Structure 1
Amino acid sequence: MINFWSSLLRRLSRQGVLVFASSFIIHLSASAGYAGGPYVVWVNLDHSFDGERIDSVVADFVASNSINCDGQWKSGDSLLYMKKRPPLIDDDLVRKVFLKRDAIQRKYLSDALRKYSEIGFRHYDGLDGIVVYSNQGVAKMMSLTTKKKEIQSVVLASRGNRPMKKDVEDAFCALLPPITRAP
């Protein structure tokens, strides 16, 4: 192996060596310490037909190539747990955290997000947060970032009105938790 590198270096000019070495170092630094994502759980607390429509809007948006969310969402690298979610995160827990603002349950939810791992998958270091839709009173989306206490919220439509597709997409991007996992 050493002979290969020394013969390669001899063949390259001084400038070529610098370009090669700098690109090699940049490649190593870019791939070392990289945490893909964000990895997010989606929970819809509205199980009506309208709630299914919101699920469809989010699923289509996330699957489209046009999603970017100002560079926060990386197609093929970010994950949205929509149908399958961590077993410790159920609707009851989410209701207590997001609708009743239960601080003890919020800590439990944050721990469940942080400690989640999926055997046989590419990550073992938790999830970055959760995005929730509720139509209790008014239609709104909320989010909680792992290791944070503050719940973010965006009202999508007033009482009795249906949220528009663009409003749901914009709220998803606005509420998308940042990457919290260590690289």
Structure 2
Amino acid sequence: MIFAKKNFSREKLQKAFFIFALSFSPFSFAGYAGGPYVVWVNLDRSVNGKRVDKIIANFATSKSVNCDGQWKMGDSLLYMVARPSSISDSLVEDVFLRNDKIQMKRLSLALKNHRDADFPSHEGLDGVVIYSNKRDAKIMSFTKGRRKIESVRIASPGELPSKKDIEDAFCALLPPITRAP
């Protein structure tokens, strides 16, 4: 009876090891699109805008951040300083502040067609998240292939947004992964 239990345990252990090895093999990532890959644009060039940039940079690189499982450390990309040249401030302003539908299509194509020499296996970007303090402080996002801008007001006119409000809005507006695996 003891011998039968040992064999049963050994079989379970072998199956568990096989499943573990298979799940961590290079073949297990086939059909997987990492990310999200997001561009951050801050249209506020003031000292307060630089404060928002610093909060986002620290937040995105913090090990404790996951935005309810959407932001994966080492898998998600945030383009801040070295953002794609095809995504200019004027394009972002046209899309987010002037709601220009033609420029929205242009932005969507720029996201779709982006290729990064540092990450040759990554094709395209998922969306743009921006900060603007025009009229009132907002964080807004646009997801590639969609025709809608989402926004969250994070402070009243003349007020500074709090660190928590900035981080919460970033997570709430994080575009989903839209790239094919």
TM-score range, shorter-chain basis?
A: 0.7 to 0.9
Once the 2 structures are TM-superposed, how far is the Cα of residue 52 of structure 1 from its aligned partner?
0.6
Q: Which residue of 2 aligns with 1:121?
A: 119
Quickly say closer, same or farther: Cα 1:15–1:173, change in 2 above 3 A: closer
Q: 1:118 to 1:158 in 2, by over 3 A?
A: same
Aligned match for 1:160, one of 154, 158, 161: 158
Pairs aligned (count)? 171
Structure 1 residue 19 displacement after superposition = 3.8
Unaligned runs of 5+ in 1: 1-12
Q: Secondary structure at the match of 1:168?
A: helix
Counterpart for residue 48 of structure 1: 46
| Residue 177 (structure 1) aligns with | 175
Structure 2, unmatched stretches of 5+, are: 1-9
Residue correspondence of structure 1 range 59-138 to structure 2 within 5 A: 59-138=57-136
One-letter identity of the residue aligned with 2:44: D
Q: Secondary structure at the match of 2:112?
A: helix
Does 1:33 find its partner at 2:34?
Answer: no
1:27–1:63 CA distance, 2 compared to 1 (3 A): closer
Instruction: Flag as ranges the 4+ runs of structure 1 deviating above 4 A.
Output: 13-17
Q: CA RMSD in A?
A: 1.7
Deviations 1:32-89 (A, max 9, x none): 1111111100000010111111101111111211111001001111110000111110
SS in 1 for 2:121: coil
- Which TM-score applies when normalising by structure 2? 0.88
Would the alpha carbon gap of residues 17 and 84 (structure 1) be closer, same or farther in structure 2, given more than 3 Å must change?
A: same
| Identical positions, percent | 55
Matched residue SS, 1:156: strand
